Amino acid sequence: MAERRRVIIFYSEIVILTVITRTRRASLCRDACVFFRRHRIPADIKDAAFCTAIRRGGSAADGTWEKMLDLYKTTRTHSERQSALHALSCTEDVQLLTTLLEMILENKCPIEKHDYNALFVALSSTSTGVTALTNFLRNHFASIINNVENGKNMVFTVYSILSSKVSTDQEITKMSEIASATTMPVEIKNKLRAIYHGEIENNLKWFDLYSIAIREIIKPGSTNISTTTPADKTQDDSKDSSSAPSIFHDYTTILRMLTVSLLIKFFINND
């Protein structure tokens, strides 16, 4: 009888503990849900929050970058997926980005094919990403053309994206080398040279014309924004001058817009 009583007490305690555990587990789940709802990252700052997290700790050593990649692969919302994809480019570890791009050559890239262009654009927004993307194109353009589906279009897309983003002498030199590679098929070389002339050389000409005015505008303590633009030396003097005010206004507007764009790029790259 005593043995039976001990057995009954033992099983009763197990039942009580099980009920307590389940109750506590449900309570913990409720508390966790409330916490995450209260501290959820707002959608309008998610891009910046994710990018900052990767920039501060997105190295191969701490695993933050891999966790962001996992989020890209597992999230069910399109906006969060795009935020995670953009954040991957914020790392300062160029080798991580290089490895990611090289996986495209083996058809093992964890990034979905329909997101490749979005990845290239995201990479072109940071100096580390530009380096990785330029090296990928320069070192593997033959493999891209021969081994990747729609490889030629990928080469043209990446080169065109980079052409509108490169800014340093070293980056521009690399772009020139890519377009002038002797081993590149003539058809592709001609297309890349056309992109180079249309984007990079025109940007350089614009910079030569307006860099002095821009430096004056952004100079510390400057309060006088000059709207004077250099005269076009090739302008035909016989041209009707009645359109001069509208042309002047157009140049002024473009100058101001490009100045703001350059300032934003400068501060982002030096953040």
| pLDDT score recorded for residue 237 | 43
Window from 67-81, 103-117, 140-154, 170-184 with minimum mean pLDDT? 170-184
Q: Is the pLDDT of residue 84 over 50?
A: yes
DSSP structure string for 122-165: HHTTSHHHHHHHHHHHHHHHHHHHHHSTTHHHHHHHHHHHHHTT
pLDDT in tens, 138-195: 999 899 999 999 999 999 999 999 998 888 889 889 999 998 887 888 888 899 999 9
Q: Tokens standing for 264?
A: 């934003």
Residue 261 DSSP SS3: helix
Q: Mean pLDDT throughout 79-102?
A: 94
Q: How many CA atoms lie within 13 A of 154 on its CB side?
A: 27
DSSP structure string for 55-72: HHH-STTTSHHHHHHHHH
Q: Is the pLDDT of residue 217 over 70?
A: yes
Q: Rounded to an integer, what distance in angstroms lies between the CA atom of residue 27 and that of residue 38?
A: 17
Q: Rounded to an integer, what distance in angstroms lies between the CA atom of residue 227 and that of residue 229?
A: 6
Q: Mean pLDDT throughout 55-70?
A: 82
Window from 17-21, 64-68, 119-123, 144-148 with minimum mean pLDDT? 17-21
Burial category of 72 from C-beta neighbours within 10 Å (exposed 0-12, middle 13-18, buried 19 and up): buried
Q: Name the nearest CA neighbour of 65 among 129, 10, 114.
A: 129
Residue 73 DSSP SS3: helix
Q: Name the nearest CA neighbour of 123 among 80, 166, 64, 63.
A: 166
Q: Tell the residue number behind the tokens 């080469």, with chain if given.
A: 155
**pTM for the whole structure:** 0.65
- The DSSP code for 200 is I
What residues contact 93, with CB distance under 8 A and at least 6 apart?
Answer: 58, 59, 60, 65, 128
| pLDDT score recorded for residue 12 | 60
Q: Tokens standing for 193?
A: 């040279």
Instruction: Return the ∠ at Cα 84 (arms to 81 and 88), rounded to 5°.
Output: 140
Range of 21-30, 38-47, 211-220 with top mean pLDDT: 211-220
Q: Rounded to an integer, what distance in angstroms lies between the CA atom of residue 164 and that of residue 175?
A: 11
pLDDT band at 93 (very low <50, low <70, confident <90, very high): very high
pLDDT band at 112 (very low <50, low <70, confident <90, very high): very high
Q: Rounded to an integer, what distance in angstroms lies between the CA atom of residue 195 and that of residue 157?
A: 10
